[in-house]
Amino acid sequence: MSALSERPAEPVVGRAVPHESAALHVTGQALYTDDLVGRTKDVLHAWPRQVMHAHARVTALRTEPAYAVPGVVRVLTAADVPGVNDAGVKHDEPLFPDEVMFYGHAVCWVLGETLEAARLGAEAIEVEVEPLPALVTVREAIAAGSFQGGQPHLERGDVEAGLAGAAHVFSGELEFAGQEHFYLETHCSLAHVDENGQVFVQSSTQHPSETQEIVAHVLGLTNSEVTVQCLRMGGGFGGKEMQPHGFAAIAALGATLTGRPVRLRLNRSQDMTMSGKRHGFHARWRVGFDESGCLQALDATLTSDGGWSLDLSEPVLARALCHVDNAYWIPNVRVNGRIAKTNKTSQTAFRGFGGPQGMLVIEDILGRCAPLLGVDAAELRRRNFYTAGGTTPYGQPVRHPERLATIWQKVLDASDFAARTSEIEAYNATHPHTKRGLAVTPVKFGISFNLTAFNQGGALVHVYKDGSVLINHGGTEMGQGLHTKMLQVAATTLGVPLHRVRLAPTRTDKVPNTSATAASSGADLNGAAVKNACEQIRGRLAQVAAERLGISPADVRFADGAVHGIAFASDRLAWEEVVKAAYFQRVQLWAAGFYRTEGLHWDSSRMRGEPFKYFAYGAAAAEVEVDGFTGAYRTRRVDIVHDVGDSLSPLVDLGQIEGGFVQGAGWLTLEDLRWEEREGPHHGRLATQAASTYKLPSFSEMPEVFNVTLLPNATEEGAVYGSKAVGEPPLMLAFSVREAIRQAAAAFGPPGLSVDLASPATPEAVYWAIEQARRSTEHGHVDEGAPGVLPDQPAADAPPMVPFSERVQRMMTRT
């Protein structure tokens, strides 16, 4: 067992404790960025001037009328930017654009004494535009050849030979929607200028260091002149990884120009119309199976809908390609990717980061092909699992594939799968108007940032003279329980009770150069860094205690607030006593911790390497009931077995699994981003831009019976205290719901029918799937044999995939 994964006796990690802020949450005392406004004097409020064209050139911008509105203090335009007029690092997303790239793009911002004044001021601004042709759908972009960024190409084996030798070849198409994050707290920043020009920005951001960098480059300052703090977020889900930067920069620019604090908080419709979402994708695929249903070859082209700027589209696409295998061994693979450039919001990170999109392609293929192969869908999936010695299409060995088989069997047992399958057959035979479906799907999800450099974490741990402990680390809290886990890690490493450790909010002047709290890596990276800092302090305290106990420092143990020797009969010192002694001996009682994930390498241009430290596994069995009159459905029961390693915090992990599952089910079955695709004055408008039209799962979508089990004895050697990341992987357990709906819809028709199901599978989409099943004895739109649907192959001049971050990394390591 590695030192990193080894747990001491009776560790604080592994205990089911509530969220560290739970008592503050429930009493309304927990503070979020916008809650600070009332505590801040003389705040100005910012409001955007959005232009309602999908694509247009700004020919005139007259701000004078805004100043005639009482209470308007300042209008911010491109001319005010002292540094770089860009909200990102790729120079493709101007903060104050002169070309409107999507319906609702903000061209300038108004600061007012009140929000009302700023709003009226923004309305008063006169904008003249020259409308330009717009591309709104991914299909339009494909037809027009409108792409951006690199076009990754992932290949192993010989796809053509694999297809030629396959007993069954199928091909088809799938287009599926993105997803709005709908964090309950919208984007918010509050900026002011401290003494000597030091800019301080409170921001709801998953990536304070990058927010700091963007604020600095917009203001023309060094990073050291800007501090960013994030108290906590009211949800992030990836939507606050890159998107907050521009908003923070606007607030900071306003604060530097007016000398007053500036608050920028988007309301819901602004947030939904201006900020990026999960990428929708289009896919064309060909697949070959042998006689027994084992995958022989997959040829696919995935086109993501990137929206107007590149944002995180390249790494999202890379992860999609790296997850098109999900849990399945495919000997011959060719997957091409490209990013459509459309006149929509700039699509961005969202829990799973392309992984769900890649996996949806293969799960849809299996769900549609199983009836054509005459193989039960659950059996088809199991038959194709990775086994010992398997490697992914990008060349990474699949470690612990036996966990997949174990989890699969456990979930079949826990859900009583076989018996319920028979019950459902009997139910369906006697119920003409409602049908049930039961499906089981697996998850294999790679953990680590694809880009190796991001896999580092930092922490700062202080032990004060009274023995109390204050920790700070580079990760942000968005509800995922990271801070809870970090407190447990620190208490475990220092051997003190949990209540002795406090945690201070994330800020860039405590721990610098942090990575985004993203890729499910928060606990892995920051936990190891916290542990490292605590170990440094513990090592120094062991010297002090060893002298007092008259033993070797190697034999000193720290547990539950006491310090003692390894022997049963050892004297025991109080933690506080050792700390006090150390102080008087002039021993350093604080430490900076650091961690870098070992053994990773990745080359995007070749799409080869070992980008992931390990894989997280899970499986879910879901039962749904579908109403034949309307297509409405409910989820009757869900059983999940999921691998979180040895859990750092079981209550937190359970919450991540359940919440991720329901969010995934929302993406696949309910949440419906509708953009106005018809030409006209509203072309490109997001039609579902409010909670009243964009429906998230509510209580009615909660599985009526919901059983979640953590895989026992699952120590992960390479991670802090044997745990595994949990933020993203459970989202993809929701494929089970989609496949169960497909099966229930198919049950309205003759046996063995392949049914197409749109995504999201809204009641309307399910109704049309039922109609397909009811009306015909024909399968859905899967072609059999050659040539079928041919995935587009990249053009000769397709740019290689070298994400910006990777280019910088290469440049740096060369010099």
Partner 1 sequence: MQSPAVTVNGRSLPLDGTAPSTTALDWLRAQGLVGCKEGCAEGECGACSVLVARPGRTTPTQWTALNACLVPIAAFAGQELVTAEGLGTPDALHPVQREMAERGGSQCGYCTPGFVCSMAAEYYRADRAPAAASDGHPGGGPDHLHGPNGFDLHALSGNLCRCTGYRPIRDAAFALGAPDDDDRLAARRSQPPPPAPATRVAADGAEFVRPAGLADALTLLADRPEALLAAGCTDWGVEVNLRGQRAPLVVAIDQLPELRGFDVTASAVEIGASLSLSEIEERLAGRLPLLDQVFPQFASRLIRNGATIGGNLGTGSPIGDTTPALLALEATVVLASVDGEREVPLADYFTGYRRSVRRADELIRAVRIPLPAAGLAAFHKVAKRRFDDISSVAVAFALDVRDGVVRRARIGLGGVAATPVRARATEDALTDQRWDADTVDRAAAVLATEGTPLDDHRSSAAYRSAMLGQALHRLFAENPTPQEVGA
Residue 243 and residue 187: Cα distance in Å, rounded?
A: 8
Using the rule CB under 8 A, is 478 a contact of partner 1?
Answer: yes
Of positions 91, 499, 601, 674, contacts partner 1 by CB under 8 A: 674
Using the rule CB under 8 A, is 42 a contact of partner 1?
Answer: no
Of positions 2, 10, 29, 464, contacts partner 1 by CB under 8 A: 29
C-alpha dihedral sign at 307, 312, 318, 319: negative
Q: Tell me which residues in 705-724 interact with partner 1 (CB under 8 A).
A: 705-706
Q: With respect to partner 1, which residue has the nearer C-beta, 405 or 632?
A: 632
Q: Tell me which residues in 535-594 interact with partner 1 (CB under 8 A).
A: none
Q: Tell me which residues in 491-530 interact with partner 1 (CB under 8 A).
A: none
Q: Tell me which residues in 789-808 interact with partner 1 (CB under 8 A).
A: none
Using the rule CB under 8 A, is 480 a contact of partner 1?
Answer: yes
Are 703 and 622 spatial neighbours (Cβ–Cβ below 8 Å)?
yes
Residue 86 and residue 774: Cα distance in Å, rounded?
A: 54
Using the rule CB under 8 A, is 695 a contact of partner 1?
Answer: yes
Using the rule CB under 8 A, is 222 a contact of partner 1?
Answer: no
DSSP calls for 21-59: THHHHHHT----GGGGGGGSTT-EEEEEEEE--SSEEEE
Nearest to 133 by CA among 94, 105, 101: 101
Of positions 164, 388, 574, 690, contacts partner 1 by CB under 8 A: 690
Tell me how far, at minimum, the Cβ of 676 lies from partner 1, in Å: 9
Using the rule CB under 8 A, is 697 a contact of partner 1?
Answer: yes
Q: Tell me which residues in 232-251 interact with partner 1 (CB under 8 A).
A: 232-235, 237
Q: With respect to partner 1, which residue has the nearer C-beta, 230 or 370?
A: 230
Residue 549 and residue 336: Cα distance in Å, rounded?
A: 64
Tell me how far, at minimum, the Cβ of 478 lies from partner 1, in Å: 6
- Of the residues 728, 764, 771, 784, only one is catalytic, namely 728
6 is catalytic: no
Using the rule CB under 8 A, is 692 a contact of partner 1?
Answer: yes
Using the rule CB under 8 A, is 183 a contact of partner 1?
Answer: yes
Residue 96 and residue 253: Cα distance in Å, rounded?
A: 12
Q: Using alpha carbons only, what angle is made at residue 169 by residues 770 and 390, rounded to the nearest 5 degrees?
A: 105
Binding mask 429-458 for partner 1 (x = CB under 8 A): ----x-------------------------
Q: Using alpha carbons only, what angle is made at residue 128 by residues 127 and 131, rounded to the nearest 5 degrees?
A: 125
Tokens of 53: 């064209």
Q: Tell me which residues in 613-632 interact with partner 1 (CB under 8 A).
A: 629-630, 632
Tell me how far, at minimum, the Cβ of 262 lies from partner 1, in Å: 18
Tell me how far, at minimum, the Cβ of 455 lies from partner 1, in Å: 25
Residue 728 and residue 581: Cα distance in Å, rounded?
A: 45
Q: How many CA atoms lie within 13 A of 611 on its CB side?
A: 27
For 356-366, b/e burial (b = at least 16 CB within 10 A) is bbbbbbbbbbb
Tell me how far, at minimum, the Cβ of 665 lies from partner 1, in Å: 9
Binding span for partner 1 by CB under 8 A among 78-86, 299-307, 615-623, 701-709: 701-709
Nearest to 249 by CA among 96, 94, 107, 87: 87
Binding mask 194-213 for partner 1 (x = CB under 8 A): --------------------
**Could you tell me which residues come within 8 angstroms of residue 238 by beta carbon, excluding any fewer than 6 positions away?**
181, 206, 278, 348, 349, 350, 351, 353, 518
Nearest to 534 by CA among 4, 2, 1: 4
Tell me how far, at minimum, the Cβ of 22 lies from partner 1, in Å: 4
Q: Tell me which residues in 105-124 interact with partner 1 (CB under 8 A).
A: 116, 119, 123
Q: With respect to partner 1, which residue has the nearer C-beta, 115 or 581?
A: 115
Q: With respect to partner 1, which residue has the nearer C-beta, 536 or 688?
A: 688
What kind and span of H or E run contains 324?
none
Are 665 and 697 spatial neighbours (Cβ–Cβ below 8 Å)?
yes
Binding mask 252-271 for partner 1 (x = CB under 8 A): ---------------xxx--
Residue type, 22: A
Residues labelled catalytic? 728
